[in-house]
């Protein structure tokens, strides 16, 4: 089974992805995480991606599609993939259709005024991949899950977030219609309790 998680920045894709991938035993592939890993390791891909990500812009389509195509060809994706943050443009969706059959697209809906607050308060853990919010964990710098150090993503500041949301509205939102017309779209109210959202996603997938 291949699933796409669609939603604006901060809509909760990463938060729900860990739950979905473990329930359905599908490999969680986050294009944002792959780019950040490359930036951390200073690879040529990371050097290119950094300029786009720091400004809140999308990385080039061809580069992103080639990266995903290579990643999902590996053995750990054989049982199925949960695409988190991919596709993000109509071009990427059309390319994805050429190499993977998409069974279900989960679209997380959250009012835009709440997205900024969610992202600016997000703290992430490099060691275990967990994401948290200062509303729940306060200003601690220690990961509540694994005890390692928490950090704030460089693109998680108010100015860049506003640009990311504008880019989402213009380039990614058209995918809602694209997948609705294919009959695979499941709309989820993402402005809810995290566990309630997950329950709704499970119902949507199994419907
Ligand atoms: P990426 O890493 O994918 O970022 P994003 O799409 O902007 O999404 P986020 O990771 O910011 O948010 P999320 O929806 O995962 O929310 P989360 O669960 O963390 O991409 C980064 C960049 O990489 C892009 O800007 C682009 O430059 C590039 N890129 C990536 N993919 C690309 C592609 N395909 N093509 C081109 N470029 C690409 O939750 C957010 C916060 O809210 C957390 O603090 C969390 O604890 C909290 N939270 C979650 N759910 C709830 C809830 N229900 N109630 C209250 N708080 C909640």
* Cα 136 to averaged position of ligand 1 atoms, centre (Å): 18
pLDDT for 207 beyond 90? no
103: Cβ–Cβ under 8 A, 6 or more apart, which residues? 1, 2, 3, 184
Query: What is the greatest pairwise CA distance in the chain?
Result: 45
Q: Name the nearest CA neighbour of 26 among 87, 107, 84.
A: 84
Identify the H or E element spanning 181: helix 174-181
By three-state DSSP, how is residue 109 classified? strand
Fold of the domain built from segment(s) 2-111+172-206? Rossmann fold (3.40.50)
Q: What is the pLDDT of residues 97-116, one digit of tens each?
A: 999 999 999 999 999 889 99
pLDDT at 116: 94
Residue-wise burial string across 59-79, b where 16 or more C-beta atoms lie within 10 A, e elsewhere: bebeebbebbeebbeeeebee
| Confidence band, pLDDT 50/70/90 cuts, at residue 166 | very high
pLDDT for 142 beyond 90? yes
- At 42, list the tokens: 């200073």
**Are 161 and 9 spatial neighbours (Cβ–Cβ below 8 Å)?**
yes
* Cα 96 to averaged position of ligand 1 atoms, centre (Å): 20
What average pLDDT does range 155-183 have in this prediction?
96
The ligand 1 site (C-beta within 6 Å) comprises: 7, 9-15, 30-32, 35, 52-53, 56-59, 64, 85-86, 88, 92, 118-119, 121-122, 131-133, 164, 192, 194, 197
By three-state DSSP, how is residue 16 classified? helix
Nearest-atom number in ligand 1 for the CA of 197 is 53
């Amino acid at each position: 089974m291949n699933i796409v998680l669609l939603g604006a920045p901060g809509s909760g894709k990463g938060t729900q992805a860990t739950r979905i991938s473990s329930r359905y035993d599908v490999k969680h592939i986050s294009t944002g995480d792959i780019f950040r890993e490359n930036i951390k390791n200073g690879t040529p891909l990371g050097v290119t991606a950094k300029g786009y990500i720091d400004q809140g812009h999308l990385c080039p389509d061809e580069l992103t599609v080639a990266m995903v195509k290579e990643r999902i060809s590996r053995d750990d994706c054989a049982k199925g993939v949960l695409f988190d943050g991919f596709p993000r443009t109509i071009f990427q969706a059309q390319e994805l259709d050429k190499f993977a059959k998409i069974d279900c697209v989960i679209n997380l809906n959250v009012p835009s005024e709440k997205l900024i607050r969610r992202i600016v308060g997000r703290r992430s853990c490099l060691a275990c991949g967990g994401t948290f919010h200062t509303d729940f964990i306060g200003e601690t710098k220690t990961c509540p899950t694994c005890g390692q150090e928490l950090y704030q993503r460089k693109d998680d500041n108010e100015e860049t977030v506003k640009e990311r949301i504008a880019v989402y509205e213009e380039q990614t939102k058209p995918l809602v219609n694209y997948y609705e017309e294919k009959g695979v779209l499941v709309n989820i109210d993402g402005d809810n309790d995290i566990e309630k959202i997950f329950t709704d996603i499970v119902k949507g997938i199994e419907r």
